[in-house]
Amino acid sequence: MFTVKKFINTIKYLQWKQIEYRIYYGVRAKIRKINGFSYPLSVPSRTADLKLQPGIPAYPSYEKENRFCFLNITYPFGEKIDWNYSDEGQLWTFNLNYFDFINQEDISKEEALRLMYDFIDKIDTVSMKNGLSAYVISLRGMNWIKFMVRYGIKEKKIDDSLYAQYRILIDNLEYQFLANHLLENGFSLLYAAYYFQDETFYAKAVEILKEQLPEQTLSDGGNFELSPMYHQIILGRVLDVVNLTKNNEGFDGKMFDFLKGYASKMLSWIEKITFSSGEIPLLNDSAFGVAPTTAMLAEYAGSLEVTSAALPLGASGYRKIEKPTYEMVVDVAEIGASYNPAHAHSDTFTFELYVHGKPLIVDTGTSTYDKNRRRHIERSTFSHNTVVVGEVNQSNVWSGFRVAERAHIVELEERQEYIRAVHDGYEKQFGLLHERQFSMHEDTIEIIDRIIGSKEEKSAIARLHFHPDVNVELEGEELVADGVRISFKGAQKVMLNFYRYAPEYHRLHQAKVAEVEFDEQLVCRIVL
């Protein structure tokens, strides 16, 4: 529910630049509408013959005969493609307009060109609300350039349209959002600068990347939005521009070393956080089957002579514990990024546990970006392996991509095989703090939760979400999960219920969740 207080507690984290550009673009749009403004077809003066090493192939999403599959939803258009089609949600429409599919391995050059021409022919006749947004132009532009370079195509109609799209992009850079949106603008403008040999595009790309990559890359190499999936996406993009600047001369030649350094840091983080199975923890907005895998990224990096910086996990707030029998990722992070937490969940102190290379206790994942009840459930504290007090979220997630008041880490103590942290997410509502301790041993994990403060009969419930493949049974007040025994000391009630696991967009699987009610302290002991 929208309230003025919630709105104020959301916008107070914004940077002034975001507010300034929201106002500027809003006023400019009204003036331009009155004046009947439209963008002219800008024509490039020249294009360069670029060289690119083979990159990571796109996930197959184009089937045949105008039939597309994005986010596990297939739609056949028949004879005519509607590039504004929105019945499956805005993210589906965005994916349609990104044109990743022209770089998938099983599409012919002729079919890809036909789809590009179809899009170009409809720009002037269809109001492309999504297709000509800055973020979508950024991704489509890079995909078109990769395709043109791959086949050595010189086609004036495509080049003219692409250049005109980039003129729209540079006039609508996403300073109102910042974060990954502005970074994608910068990556794409660098591609355009090399392709069109355009000094204006280059200057703006360098300005954005030299400001945003240091801002968005934490000291341990993690992307500040704290989504392993988005980290993989952004790392893939950094490797693409390393590829671009490594294999092509032009401009001042200074960007290659800068970009390679950040690729090395980011590669370190994703390799550290990835499980031995190759899967990422599904923390914050993360799902399988969207981003290039860590193995793909490592192989691509190797082909570009990018090596891992081998940095220890730190500033991101994620920790990885590895033992012979298990791997565990622990979240003691702040909400990130503070001024654009669009992909953040209310999940402080959650964790994922893999035993013998297989998932046992998992994050519940992300199945949708639609602003609906499912989206709110997946972002809520209720859906993570942590403690809920009084059925209230630690951080006030709302409206799909917003966060008002947030939980902050107020204490953090770490030593070998031990983490203790305290957050204040329940302090304003109930005057309570939540402390969690993790003690990791060879075959035993102990998790101690304490609710600190005058409790006044507010229920505290710790949840453990099990992978759908795990057989979980309740034996008295102990759980047995595929041979792993989990006991609870201080529990008032131990229950097994069901939840819906979302490892991919629009894919939901029924699985079991343990709900453990307690008063002031709960000791959870996991014996492997």
**What DSSP line would sit under 374-392, residue for residue?**
HHHHHHSGGGSSSEEETTB
CATH fold match for the domains 22-303 and 318-527: no
Residue 4 confidence (pLDDT) above 90? no
Cis peptide before 514 (omega within 30 of 0): no
Distances (CA, A) of 27 to 23, 35, 99: 6, 13, 31
Closest C-alpha to 464, from 345, 376, 359: 359
- The answer for residues whose C-beta is within 8 angstroms of residue 169's C-beta and 6 or more apart is 134, 137, 138, 141, 185, 188, 189, 192
Beta strands in 22-86 (DSSP E): 67-70, 73-76
Q: Fill in the amino acid letter for 339.
A: Y
Beta bridge mates, 69: 74
Q: Which tokens is 242 given?
A: 């390393």
What is the pLDDT at residue 491? 96
What is the pLDDT at residue 455? 72
pLDDT band of residue 476 (cuts 50, 70, 90) is confident
Do 494 and 518 contact (CB within 8 A), yes or no?
Answer: no
- The answer for residues whose C-beta is within 8 angstroms of residue 124's C-beta and 6 or more apart is none
Average pLDDT, the chain: 95
DSSP string, 303-332: HTT-----PPS-TT-EEEEE-SSEEEEEE-
- Alpha carbon distance 127, 464 (integer Å): 47
Q: What is the pLDDT of residues 19-43, one digit of tens each?
A: 999 999 999 999 999 999 988 888 9
What is the pLDDT at residue 251? 85
Helix pair angle (199-216, 228-247), 10° resolution:
140
- Alpha carbon distance 502, 507 (integer Å): 6
Q: What is the pLDDT of residues 325-374, one digit of tens each?
A: 999 999 999 999 999 999 999 999 999 999 999 999 999 999 999 999 99
Q: Is 498 helix (H, G, I), strand (E, B) or coil?
A: strand
Domain ranges of the chain: 22-303, 318-527
What is the pLDDT at residue 236? 98
Q: Is 400 helix (H, G, I), strand (E, B) or coil?
A: coil
Q: Pairing mode, if any, of strands 409-415 and 402-403?
A: unpaired
Radius of gyration of the chain (CA): 24
- Alpha carbon distance 469, 463 (integer Å): 18
Q: Is 77 helix (H, G, I), strand (E, B) or coil?
A: coil
Q: What is the pLDDT of residues 151-179, one digit of tens each?
A: 999 999 999 999 999 999 999 999 999 99
Cα dihedral angle (166, 171, 172, 178), rounded to 10 degrees? Answer: 100
pTM listed for this prediction: 0.96
Do 448 and 521 contact (CB within 8 A), yes or no?
Answer: yes
Is domain 22-303 given the CATH code 1.50.10.100 in the classification?
yes
Residue 125 confidence (pLDDT) above 70? no
Distances (CA, A) of 344 to 230, 376, 394, 398: 11, 11, 12, 11
Q: Is 309 exposed, middle or buried (0-12, 13-18, 19+ CB in 10 A)?
A: middle
Do 202 and 298 contact (CB within 8 A), yes or no?
Answer: no
Determine the average pLDDT of the residues in 183-188: 98
Q: Which residue has the higher pLDDT, 43 or 227?
A: 227
Is domain 318-527 given the CATH code 2.70.98.70 in the classification?
yes
Q: Which tokens is 5 given?
A: 């207080």
- The answer for residues whose C-beta is within 8 angstroms of residue 395's C-beta and 6 or more apart is 335, 344, 346, 348, 381, 403, 405, 406, 407, 425
Residue with tokens 């600068």: 193
